Amino acid sequence: MEVAPGEIHAVLGENGAGKSTLMKIVAGVVQADAGTILWNGAPVQIPTPAAARRLGIGMVHQHFSLFESISVTENIAVALDGKFDLARTRRQIIETASRYGLPVDPDRLLHHLSVGERQRVEILRALLQTPQLLILDEPTSVLTPQAVESLFAVLRRVADEGCAILYISHKLDEIRTLCHRATVLRGGRVVGTVDPTEQSAAELAHMMVGTAVPPICHDPPVGAGDRTPILELAGLSARADDPFGTDLEDVALSLHEGEILGIAGISGNGQSELLSILSGERVLTDADMIRLDGKPIADLGAAARRRLGLGYIPEERLGRGAVPTMSLAENYLLTQDDSVKHGLIDRSILRDQTSAIIERFDVKCSGPGATARSLSGGNLQKFIVGREISLAPKLLIVAQPSWGVDIAAARFIRQTLIDLSRAGTAVLVISEELDELFEIADRLMVLYQGRLSPVRERSQIGLMMAGA
């Protein structure tokens, strides 16, 4: 593939298609086994990220590499080559920020900054090195629609000045609005280079996945009537355990069987606090704060709540939803202990149960003995979803259901959640992905700074996420 000065070039592909590996080779993080890189027409070796920076290649990673406890200026100054000069760096930040329309206060401490602001710091840091090529790895995965718009404006300005941009993403609509060309990767190979404006999103998806993706089917929910809600929170307030956490204030909601309630919002606004309180990983003293099918449960632990019919699919698949180094069978045992007789595990029953989940949810793996970390994100998520669904829960809580999951698996998981709700389960989805919530949720609320909004129209949600 090639990228020209002033061009915004999309690198498109599913998870595991090789996008990140390719970009890491260009940025000097990983070495290629074979092949050549031509830079301004001449072959180059890029053995280290520092060498890439010297050539003029800057990269903004998907996961920010910033220090929480120091200021914006200090964060940028430590990353720059050359003399450590805070006053000069500060001047450069203000100058560059105003040139590209990136409002950032250079003196604020990083932990006060929102996710969108942090990303601006990352981009500023890359721009201060005056790159000829800027690589952005899934930059919009954590941004509100408004923040995405202003990011695009910045990127267009950067490109107009002659900088080439490689834009990694799997969000097809964004690529079609922003990018001049798109190179599609699948299974570590380039499938083709196209003009994204001339292709429909479905055609691009087809190139990425290799097969056509069927749309989600969505029946209207069964009427709630005036039955008891499955989940009811009334005036739930709780201080965060973590000093950098968000306190929850007067959170109230009710969720009925057969419906999907979506909670939108950017992580860090009380999402993790609300989830740990709902799941029982954190126990409250006042039992009445949470009611499950009418029963007060806020004082019960996670295992007791699960026995009452609460299933939970956490955001962190590896390390929380599953133990990375343990087999799928052992991971099945985390939440399902019906293979335990007299305190001893019956391995053959466990294997059969695990195999049944693998088969029913089409989990691609070597079998029940495969370790959790050997599975791709999408397949592990399918396994965890299957495990929790096989508990036949009354209430299923799902955090970021398709985070880091490929298109086909994401679609499968979303359809599974809809089918589950239509069969009578109450489903609560907490997600940052608005497209996903709009696709599956019957009702939507927003969690912002520890407070939950009333139910709103979808057009208003984006503004509320930004705090407007």
Partner 1 sequence: MIHLSIEKRPAPSPLMRIGAPLIAVGVTLLVGIVLALVLGLDPLILLRVLFVDPLSSANGISEWLLKASPLILIALGLTIGFRANIWNIGAEGMFTIGAIAAALVALRFGEGAAIWVLPAMALAGMLGGMAWAAIPAFLKTKANTSEILVTLMLNYVAALLLSYLINGPMRDPNGFNYPQTANFGPAALLPSLVDGLRVNISILFTLALAGLTWVFLTKSFLGFKMRVGGIAPAAAGYAGFSESQSVWLGLLAGGAASGLAGMMEAAGPLGQLIPVLSPGYGFAAIIVAFIGRLTVPGIVLGGLLLALLYLGGEQAQMTLNLPASLTRSIEGALLFFLLAADGLTQFRVRLRRS
Site string for partner 1, 269-308 (x = CB under 8 A): ----------xxx-------------------xxxxxx--
Tokens of 375: 């599975």
Please report whether residue 207 would count as binding partner 1 according to CB under 8 A: no
Asked if 2 and 175 count as a contact pair (C-beta separation under 8 A), the reply is no
Who contacts 24 (Cβ-Cβ below 8 Å, separation ≥6)? 30
Nearer to partner 1, 78 or 284 (CB): 284
Please report whether residue 322 would count as binding partner 1 according to CB under 8 A: yes
Asked if 286 and 369 count as a contact pair (C-beta separation under 8 A), the reply is no
Nearer to partner 1, 100 or 312 (CB): 312
Amino acid letter at 168?
I
Please report whether residue 407 would count as binding partner 1 according to CB under 8 A: no
Q: What is the dihedral of CA 389, 391, 396, 397, to 10 degrees?
A: -90
Nearer to partner 1, 235 or 367 (CB): 367
Exposed e or buried b per residue across 216-230, where buried means at least 16 C-beta atoms within 10 angstroms of its C-beta: eeeeebeebeeeebb
Q: Applying CB under 8 A, which part among 256-264, 332-340, 392-400, 410-418 lies near partner 1?
A: 332-340
Nearer to partner 1, 167 or 312 (CB): 312
Please report whether residue 334 would count as binding partner 1 according to CB under 8 A: yes
Site string for partner 1, 15-54 (x = CB under 8 A): --------------------------------x-------
Instruction: Tell me the residue length of the chain.
Output: 468
Radius of gyration of the chain measured on its C-alpha atoms? 24
Please report whether residue 78 would count as binding partner 1 according to CB under 8 A: no
Can you list the alpha helix ranges (DSSP code H) found in 179-318? 201-209, 271-279, 302-307
**Residue 327 DSSP label:** B
Residue 280: CB minimum distance to partner 1, A: 6
Nearer to partner 1, 31 or 228 (CB): 31
Residue 82 Rama label (left phi>0; alpha psi -120 to 50; beta):
left
Please report whether residue 337 would count as binding partner 1 according to CB under 8 A: yes
Residue choice 4, 340, 455, 468 for contact with partner 1 (CB under 8 A): 340
Residue 339: CB minimum distance to partner 1, A: 9
Who contacts 20 (Cβ-Cβ below 8 Å, separation ≥6)? 137, 168
Please report whether residue 456 would count as binding partner 1 according to CB under 8 A: no
Site residues (vs partner 1, CB under 8 A) = 47, 279-281, 301-306, 312, 314, 316, 319-326, 330, 333-335, 337, 340, 343-345, 371, 374
